[in-house]
Amino acid sequence: MKLRWGTGNKKRPLEGTGPVGSVLFYLFGVKKEEEVQKMGDIRIGNQKRLLISITLLIPFILLFSGPVRSGTAEYFRGLDYLIISMVQSLHNETFTTVVLAVTFLGGIPALTGVVALGAVVFLYYKRWITALFYAGAVALGGGLNALLKWLFQRDRPDFNPLVIEQGFSFPSGHAMGATITYGLLAYFVVIHLQEKGAKATVISVAVTLILLIGLSRIYLGVHYFTDIIAGFLAGALWIMISVFVWKRITKGSTAGV
């Protein structure tokens, strides 16, 4: 004879756990097995995010320390000039034309255009919250970059520059802005894609473009290598903060997202 558990609004045991397992789950207030799996996934996800954050923070703090800011640290200064000389050894007229086109994609006009286009596309698909958040996150990221430049006030390198840039050097505005703009755009696109191949393609294109923009700044002689790395790190951290806030404000919501 089979025992029938209560029906209606009463709690039912979890399939495959037996009466003992059901009692334990009831004692801890868990109603469904899926909730247990979700809780485990959340813990694993939080651990991964914490590990990534620490991984980014260590070099971020190191690069943003006083010695690097003042440019007096021998180990960083030697690395900066070594990489600049290596990259600039590739100088030729044709290549410079290509590099100028690449670096343009990390400038304020191009990034503003990307944000505007992205927002329009999101609005077209009735994702107005995504559109507003994306534009706001990128704008605040730009403000953060300006603040960091003002705080550290590192002079630009004077090492055979091909173009003249104004303002301070550390962290690179192109590297940080490109990371935030293209990185967040890739994130919002990827979360709505189903195919893994499409997701990988979007991420690969974004990462490649960001890296090329960073390298272009060294080639042109307007940034140190550490400026670029700091820009990448600051941008990546800002993306993590933005995604964290995004998930909190859109939790349980589907309209406009």
Told to judge if 223 belongs to the known catalytic residues of this protein, a careful annotator would answer: yes
Give 216's contacts (C-beta < 8 A, 6+ positions apart).
99, 100, 102, 103, 106, 174
- Active-site pick, 154, 223, 230, 246: 223
Contact 184, 134 (CB under 8 A): yes
Please compute Rg for the chain using Cα positions.
24
Rounded Cα gap, residues 253 and 240, in angstroms: 20
Coil, helix or strand at residue 171: coil
Told to judge if 192 belongs to the known catalytic residues of this protein, a careful annotator would answer: no
Contact 85, 205 (CB under 8 A): no
Cβ–Cβ contacts within 10 Å for residue 232, how many? 23
Our CA angle for 75, 76, 79, nearest 5°, is 90
Contact 102, 174 (CB under 8 A): no
Cβ–Cβ contacts within 10 Å for residue 7, how many? 7
Helix spans in the chain (H): 18-27, 33-63, 66-70, 74-88, 93-104, 108-124, 128-152, 173-190, 196-219, 225-249
- Active-site pick, 25, 174, 175, 235: 174
Structure tokens at 193: 């894609």
The set of catalytic residues is: 174, 223
